[in-house]
Structure 1
Amino acid sequence: MSAGDELSGIRIADSKLARDAAQFVRGPEGDFLFQHSTRVYWAALAGDRRGLTFDPELLYVAAMFHDFGLTAVYGESHLRYEVDGANAARDFLRSHGIPEADSERVWLAIALHTTNGISAHLFPLAALVAEGANMDLVGAG
């Protein structure tokens, strides 16, 4: 699945940014991790169900990059994989002219997505990335 496709009734953002994000991560992530990253976008269902205000395009980019630090690209990194993925997403967003405040929100959402008990108390994007990862990994939500 990629930009423009529908996932459980939620249309994945069909924009140049979303298409570029999917294309950027697809090769390095491989099929297994790419499919997981795509399913993290299911969090949009939870966001809609709870009436949260979030940017679906930024949620899609965050979902695509949330585990990017696990790829071979970062095999020599000494940073946490969440930080590597967050840095890659921020660089990607900056290269596409996305405002710095949005890039930083995506960075935080990715960097903290595995830190239980924190993301849910931040802004909706952070809460949804963590929730989407848990939805796919353990069926939570």
Structure 2
Amino acid sequence: MSVSPQEIFQKYVYAGALTRNADALAELFTEDGVLEAPLVPADAAFPRRTEGREEIRRAMSAYYERQSSDGGVPNVEKSRYVLHITDDPEVFIAEIDTVFDGEEDETVSLVQIYRVRDGKIAHLRDYFAPGMVS
């Protein structure tokens, strides 16, 4: 049974942004998977490029531990996304507007490009404003 882009995307968002579960997030990747954030400076807390499931697990666990527990959780009801299915069955693109609640709602727009293999993420490029993870 194949996994749909919708399912992969929703699992990634849940494991990452919503629950900050590095183990669950890492399990979404192939053993040799790559998590890449090309716009993030090399010295940022968020890893710019991480290769391999176990390295993704380690890097994201370290990143999540550094984050404060009081903020940064998106408002799912206000946030929006569109998945773009490509001619390549292994590639889809997520166009996202994430809303964070506050005195004034803050919207963060980003794009993610997924390359999947056998229902797992083989390569994810996450394009977002570097200031979000300083």
TM-score (norm 2): 0.29
Which one has a bigger Cα radius of gyration? 2
Structure having the larger proportion of residues in helix:
1
More relative contact order, 1 or 2 (CA 8 Å, 6+ apart): 2
Structure having the larger proportion of residues in strand:
2
